[in-house]
Amino acid sequence: NAGVTQTPKFRILKIGQSMTLQCAQDMNHNYMYWYRQDPGMGLKLIYYSVGAGITDKGEVPNGYNVSRSTTEDFPLRLELAAPSQTSVYFCASSSREGEKLFFGSGTQLSVL
Amino acid sequence: AQKITQTQPGMFVQEKEAVTLDCTYDTSDQSYGLFWYKQPSSGEMIFLIYQGSYDEQNATEGRYSLNFQKARKSANLVISASQLGDSAMYFCAMREGWNSGGSNYKLTFGKGTLLTVNP
pLDDT at B34: 94
Residues of A in contact with B50 (CB under 8 A): 100
* Cβ neighbours around B49 below 10 Å, total: 21
pLDDT at B105: 65
Dmax of chain B from CA atoms? 46
pLDDT surpasses 80 at A98:
no
Residue of B nearest to A55 (CA): B105
Mean pLDDT of B59-64: 96
Three-state secondary structure call for residue B105 = coil
| B64 contact A CB<8A | no
Mean pLDDT of A3-15: 95
pLDDT at A5: 95
Mean pLDDT of A44-53: 93
Residues of B in contact with A61 (CB under 8 A): none
Lowest mean pLDDT among A25-29, A55-59, A94-98, B91-95: A94-98
pLDDT surpasses 60 at A17:
yes
Mean pLDDT of B9-16: 96
* A98, A105, A108 member nearest B44 (Cβ): A105
Arithmetic mean of pLDDT over chain B:
91
Mean pLDDT of B10-39: 95
Residue of A nearest to B52 (CA): A98
pLDDT surpasses 90 at B48:
yes
CA distance B93 to B109: 4
| B107 contact A CB<8A | yes
pLDDT at B104: 57
* Cβ neighbours around A102 below 10 Å, total: 18
pLDDT surpasses 90 at A29:
yes
Selection from A89-93, B51-55, B104-108 with the highest mean pLDDT: A89-93
Q: What are the DSSP calls for B11-66, one per residue?
A: EEEETTS-EEE--EE----SSEEEEEEEE-TT---EEEEEEETT-SSPPEETTEEE
CB neighbour list of residue B15: distance below 8 Å, 6 or more residues apart: B82, B83, B84, B117, B118, B119
pLDDT at B5: 96
